[in-house]
Structure 1
Amino acid sequence: MRIIVRIMLVLAALVCALAPASAAPTVDDASARQIDELLTVRAESGGLSRSELIERLSARLLGTPYGANMLIGSATEPEQLVADLRRVDCFTYLDYVEAASRSSTRDEFLTNLATTRYIDGRVEFAQRKHFFTDWSTRERLAATDITASLSAAAVTTTKHLNAKADGSTYLPGVPVVDRAVTHIPSAAVDATVSGALRTGDFLGAYTPEAGLDVTHVGILVHTPAGPIFRNASSLAATNQVVDTPLADYLRTVPGIVVLRPL
């Protein structure tokens, strides 16, 4: 009997080890309602273009409180697929909008969230798309990097993503990746560049700091009053998802990286 019990315990351990890392997370009631409301927006989108759909979905989350460090996982802590829409940071905000834009049901939303946030949908810390440009370079691709096509003033810099200037890494357990990152200096974002941007484009605030591509992300939306930068702001004066005039935001950052949704 003891042998049989021991075999059963070993088999149970194997089943747990082989269970998919992307098992559906527990979703709190408030987040479930938010997801369902996003799915309703998509269901009612009719013949809207993808860019218009992204605008409507992102608008539904305006006013959502900002929350830092929303994801769970590290080199030493098992990664979890987090779907918590009670608070968002700038990256999870884009994750949820992108996932909702592709989904009709809550299960589809969670599947698309995994493939948006993780390389090949593998819910592991090392597979998380930690960098903005991962969206245009790592599967499943969510966007195309169009930065270079928007301005002759665009500048390309080879970045060693995740490598600090002192040789250490920002994220232990995540490999350093060499990548050519192109940005348009803020001073060069003139009316021509702004006019070439489309509602729904994903914008990243470029940083010259070693090992990083951007420090903040959001969504471009054209309005009758001019283009705005829709983003989950951590500023004390806002601390929620807000619309910021693009011209105002550009005065605070070195430049922008532009990814266009697929």
Structure 2
Amino acid sequence: MKKRHFLSFVVLLIFSTTAISQNVICSTQDKEAFEAKIKQISKFEKKGMGETMVAIGKTFLGTPYVAKTLEIGETESLVVNLHELDCTTFVENVLAFTLVKQSDSTSFNQFTKTLETIRYKNGVLNGYPSRLHYFTEWISNNQFKGIITDITAAIGGKVISKEINFMSTHRDLYPFLKDNDANLEKIKESENYLNSQEFCLLPQNEIAANEHLIQSGDIIALTTSIKGLDITHTGIATREKDGRIHLLHASTSGEVKVSEEPLVDYLKGVKNNTGIMVARVQ
């Protein structure tokens, strides 16, 4: 895994804007990358949301995987980092660019407003606990906002019960959590909410039979048997030339790529994987 290094040599610009609730942290490199990306995707023919998700996602191919790019500064800010991505920020940025592309409003302010809407509970940045840390809550909250629909049950998913508490029981792993009791209590509130909800997963051994129901552009979240944790990885479904669904994702092995194997076979090599959740962009 490559170390986060851009803060050491890139001067950060702080963009204050009335379009969002907090300051945006964005390097000059990423502001330029935003402008280049907008220019690139503006040339794309307007298609459905799923096809647009895949087309925009593939413009990030080769972008390095870097973890914890959102853990910057002393307080939670809206971080825009387009040259280093983890699996979640990859999906968030692709979704934000897709929504901006479909709306024909391509300003930086509109992009950051859209990114904030996706990343935070009810679309409002209000401190570290307002970030949608658990991806099951990310799915349910973005469904509430009308951005996506959880289709896991509709494609054969099964309701499961599992206690979610990984963050609160591993607080030392999270820079904004390990020494902040107020943040910890609010994270526990999120966990309690999740533990009061039912959610579905499509078991790993049933994905092949239901693969035809997954569409290019669907958001795929990998469920896990790890105690206290819901999701370990996420990406975007893409039906490739072989007619099979593959995973377009920021791979922990190094960069944004399309899985060489179809999703069904790729998951067999993922330790502790139990299946997937699937969400469709509206």
TM-score by length of 1: 0.81
Larger gyration radius, structure 1 or structure 2: 1
Q: Secondary structure at the match of 1:159?
A: coil
> Which consecutive residues of structure 1, in runs of 5 or more, have no partner in the other structure?
1-18
In the alignment, what sits opposite 2:88?
91
| 1:73 Cα deviation after fit | 6.3
Question: Could you say what secondary structure the match of 1:79 adopts?
Answer: coil
Question: Is residue 2:160 matched to residue 1:157?
Answer: yes
SS of equivalent residue, structure 2 residue 46 = coil
* 1:182 maps onto 2:200 in alignment: yes
Question: Deviations 1:2-52 (Å, cap 9, x if unpaired)?
Answer: xxxxxxxxxxxxxxxxx9973342422321232223323442333311111
For 1:102 and 1:93, the matched residues in 2 are separated by 14
Report the Cα offset of residue 255 of structure 1: 0.7
Aligned residues: 234
Partner of 1:231: 249
* Regions of 4+ moved over 6 Å: none
- Shift of residue 182, structure 1, vs aligned partner: 1.0
Q: Which has the higher contact order (CA 8 A, sep 6+)?
A: 2
Counterparts of residues 111-150 of structure 1 (less than 5 Å): 111-123=113-125, 124-138=127-141, 139-150=144-155
In structure 2, the gaps of 5 or more residues are: 1-17, 101-105, 172-176, 178-183
Give distance in 1, aligned partners of 2:139 and 2:76.
23
CA deviation profile, 1:74-131 (whole Å, cap 9, x unmatched):
9xx4101100112000001111011111222211111101011001222221111112
Question: Taking structure 2 as the reference length, what is the TM-score of the superposition?
Answer: 0.76
Q: Write the distance in 1 (CA, Å) between the matches of 2:214 and 2:70.
A: 30
Q: 8 Å contact 1:202–1:220 — kept in the other structure? A: yes
- Tell me the SS of whatever aligns to 1:102: helix
Are 1:218 and 2:235 matched, yes or no?
yes
Q: In structure 2, the residue corresponding to 1:67 is in which secondary structure?
A: coil
Quick one: which amino acid aligns to residue 78 of structure 1? T
Q: CA RMSD in A?
A: 2.4
Q: Contact 1:41–1:57 (CA<8 Å) still a contact in 2?
A: no
The 1-side partners of 2:203 and 2:121 are apart by 29
Partner of 2:67: 68
User: Which position in structure 1 is the counterpart of 2:9?
Assistant: none
Q: Does 1:40 align with 2:39?
A: yes
Structure 2 match to 1:49: 48
Q: Are the counterparts in 2 of residues 219 and 231 from structure 1 also a CA contact under 8 Å?
A: yes
1:243 deviates by: 0.6
Counterpart contact for 1:159–1:180, Cα < 8 Å: no
Equivalent residue number for residue 198 of structure 1: 215
- Paired with 1:126 and 1:32, the residues of 2 have a C-alpha distance of 26
Partner residue, 1:28: 27
Q: Percent identity?
A: 25
